[in-house]
Amino acid sequence: MMHSNVEPPRPWCGRTPLLTVIWDWDGREPMDLPDQDTLPLDLLRHPAGGRDGEWALLGEEERDEGLDVVESVHFMLRRLIHTNSDFARAALYGLALEQPVVTYADRLLERLAHIHRDDLLPHARWLVSEAAHREPLKLGMLLLGLSGRHDDLVDLRALARHDELTLFALKATELLCDDPTDLWWEIARKARGWGRVHAVKRLSEVVYDRPDVRAWLIRYGCWNTVAPDHLAWICADAGDLVSVLERSLVDRATLEGASLILGTLARTSYDGDMDAYEDGAEATLLFLEHVEARSDLEAFVPTLQALIRWVSWPDAIERGAEPWKRRIAQGWGDAQRARVLQSCRKLLAVHDEGQPSQRA
């Protein structure tokens, strides 16, 4: 492997570190990171975290795993550990700018597992505290996950607030914390866009002994500014939607969260639609029973309309075809579809007439 001895530039010089920018940000409104002026034009169309989020959705066969860059980063990092020179630091920084860290993050973590954490730590902290560009900062966050201490969670928690960096804060805190559930829940509650998508996905994997978090997933977990499609099935499954709706009393926030989940599933989704949700028919009928007991129906109208379209699928699928058989097996028989259709139409009629809903 050949590496030039020409003095590399130091792109962070004269620029404010991103960590400083984020600490000064109140988080109330979205914020463009100040390295926007250095990004290629094709990346400016993505919302914060969008490029990394879309890459994370790709199947393994579609991913370019960045094997060459992993070896290059490993080499540069070992040289930096050995020399602790600005030359080596600038070379590593420049390499991080060349390719999105998300494309090789997991393989890099595996490759660096043998390096002693005390050797990594000062360089991880330097990148996190001084990087003025997002990709070197993301690299530093990964390294901090491998080498950091509990005190480093303060900066990672701050960085997680920005959708561009949430994914890497999650990766780092998973390595640093024995049980990151509460921290991930905090991150999920504060994030809006791709950061929320990543945080809820991680959170859904660790909540089976946490009824408080499962309840939050049903109430609020599906909402995000990217698309609820990314999280509807995940929240229904991890939040155990059927068990929630089996209760005799369901609060308004829970019912509205269930409405968003079921309406999204009925309209199809990226990570699972109503076909993928085996309890969809049961959950839908339970949901409609609760809505029938409500007088204010405005919030449920889009879901009622989506469910009507969903139960009309026999018009578009040949009876006896494989999708038909699968849906019948999941509880979408003629009687169940008729009940859903009747209930939705009645509720929409009541809404349109402006009359209180009466339980059937």
Span 87-106, pLDDT tens digits:
999 999 999 999 899 999 99
The residue written with tokens 């889009």 in the block is 302
Q: Which amino acid is located at 336 in the chain?
A: Q
Average pLDDT for residues 29-41, to the nearest whole number? 83
Instruction: Write down the mean pLDDT value for the chain.
Output: 89
Vertex 49: Cα angle to 45 and 53 (nearest 5):
100
pLDDT band at 1, cuts 50/70/90? Answer: very low
Lowest average pLDDT, out of 116-120, 176-180, 271-275, goes to 271-275
CA–CA separation, 245 and 236 (whole Å) = 11
Highest mean pLDDT among 33-47, 251-265, 346-360: 251-265
| pLDDT beyond 60 at 320 | no
Average pLDDT for residues 74-86, to the nearest whole number? 95
Span 179-199, pLDDT tens digits:
999 999 999 999 999 999 999
Confidence at residue 8, expressed as pLDDT on a 0 to 100 scale: 78
| pLDDT beyond 50 at 145 | yes
Span 224-280, pLDDT tens digits:
999 899 999 999 999 999 999 999 999 999 999 999 999 999 987 555 789 889 999
- pTM equals 0.88
Q: Of 221, 311, 238, whose CA–CA distance to 274 is shortest?
A: 311
User: Alpha carbon of 152 to those of 144, 177, 262, 286, 335: distances in Å?
Assistant: 8, 11, 39, 45, 57
* HSE (side-chain half, CA atoms, 13 Å) at 311: 26
Average pLDDT for residues 110-123, to the nearest whole number? 94
